[in-house]
Amino acid sequence: MNTLNMRQLRDMFLFVARRVIEREDFLTEIDLKLGDGDHGFGMALGFKAVKEALEGKEFETVENLFQEVGMTLLDTMGGASGVLFGTMFISGIVGIEPHQKADLPLLAGIYRRSLEALKRRGKAQVGDKTMVDAFEPAVIGLEQAVANSEDLPKGLAMAAECAKKGMMHTRDCVAKFGRAKSYGTKALGLQDAGATSVWIIFQAMSDWASESKESE
């Protein structure tokens, strides 16, 4: 499996939506330790709306589908998380030619542009205990897979593994943004909720691709 048609891409993001919704309590538990405890609710709310927006709908291009996901998250989640996770899907498609299929190089390019937009918007870097700590390694994993000419399931698996390592590394970091910043060194040993959500998204993409490959 090296490309996804529009139906497959939609189904992959529906799988992602269901996975995020299922992990609401897990995300809430993580966020209660450093934040105000609403991250799980916000992510579940956003991806429930994504699920409703995608189910039974046909999309003409990859960019249309990414736009739908991103704008839905932006409109329903609200606050900083809505902007940041909306950016994760919207900013990478700006100004690019439309595609009817998604392959690994296209996904790597979309997420690289989204990452750079996210970093410009939020000013966060790796090590600041934010979603960037998982998102940047995931993008690097995708790019390495492209360089190695891996197939799509392998590339997404590499991205998910890199995202997980980045998420785990947030336990060793002191937060520089948000409510967690006030915890200082007391935040050591605790992982960031936003980075955890990024890992869940990429892990779900990987799981869907692996299961789809096995069923071929």
Summarize pLDDT for 169-178 with one digit per residue, the tens. 999 887 776 6
pLDDT, position 181: 67
Residue-level pLDDT at 167: 96
Which residue has tokens 């009817």? 100
How does strand 102-103 pair with strand 3-4? antiparallel
Helices of type H across 23-151: 24-34, 39-54, 62-77, 79-90, 104-122, 132-147
What average pLDDT is seen over the chain?
92
Backbone angles phi, psi at 189, to 5 degrees: 95, -10
The reported pLDDT for the residue numbered 202 is 98
Q: How confident is the model at residue 37 (pLDDT cuts 50, 70, 90)?
A: confident
* Among the four given CATH numbers 1.10.1030.10, 2.60.120.10, 1.25.40.340, 2.60.40.60, the one describing domain 3-214: 1.25.40.340
Helix (H) or strand (E) run with residue 205 in it: helix 193-214
Using CA atoms of 118, 120, 123, 125 in order, give the dihedral in degrees to the nearest 10.
70
Q: What angle do CA 1, 44, 7 make, to 5 degrees?
A: 30
- pLDDT tens, position by position, 81-120: 899 999 999 999 999 999 999 999 999 999 999 999 999 9
What's the whole-number mean pLDDT along residues 128-139?
A: 95
More confident residue, 162 or 189: 162
3-state secondary structure (DSSP) of residue 2: coil
Q: In this structure, what token pair is assigned to residue 65? A: 């589908």
Confidence band of 179 (pLDDT split at 50, 70, 90): low
Query: CA 67, 132, 49, 21 torsion: positive or negative?
Result: positive
What pLDDT, on a 0 to 100 scale, did the predictor assign at position 176? 75
Tokens 């966060």 locate to: 124
DSSP state of 103: E
Indicate the pTM of the whole model.
0.94
